[in-house]
Amino acid sequence: MKRTIAIAFLASTMIMAISSASAQTKSKATVPFDFRVGSTLMPAGSYEIEYPRPGVIWFHSQDGHANVLALAGSTAGATAPPERLVFHRYGNQYFLRETLTASGEDQMTFAPSNLEKSVRAEEATLKSEGRVLIALN
């Protein structure tokens, strides 16, 4: 009886792990500037980006020194993996705002952090806001 329960538990754990692993999508990007994901500052560099679930993005630097997990609003029915990262630029500060598919459709949208709102208000008078796209490999 204990053996049957143990085998059933092991089988269900393996099935969950396999289905979870297959649902993940990975990309790589080199971001040439420091940027923020939410309120977390990420240094310029090479990143592996994972999408473990719709509306969830995980950046981890290839040198292992920077990691951030963020939640986003995701487009209903979007199944293609994101192809581009979209940053908003205010002066010399960059904030991750959305991801796009290869066809240019919105995939995920990130709410502006309090810091971004503050910087945007400060920079509004200078009109230095811009949009920056980074292609993913």
pTM of the model: 0.71
Inside any domain, residue 9? no
Inside any domain, residue 82? yes
The pLDDT value recorded for residue 102 is 78
In order along the chain (137 residues), what is the average pLDDT of each group of 10 residues?
A: 48 43 73 94 94 87 91 73 88 91 82 91 69 76
Inside any domain, residue 53? yes
Inside any domain, residue 13? no
Domain ranges, residue 60: 24-135
Inside any domain, residue 18? no
The pLDDT value recorded for residue 85 is 93
Domain count, the chain: 1
Inside any domain, residue 15? no
Task: For 25-61, give the DSSP string.
Answer: -EEEEEESS-EEETTEEE-SEEEEEE-SSTTEEEEEE
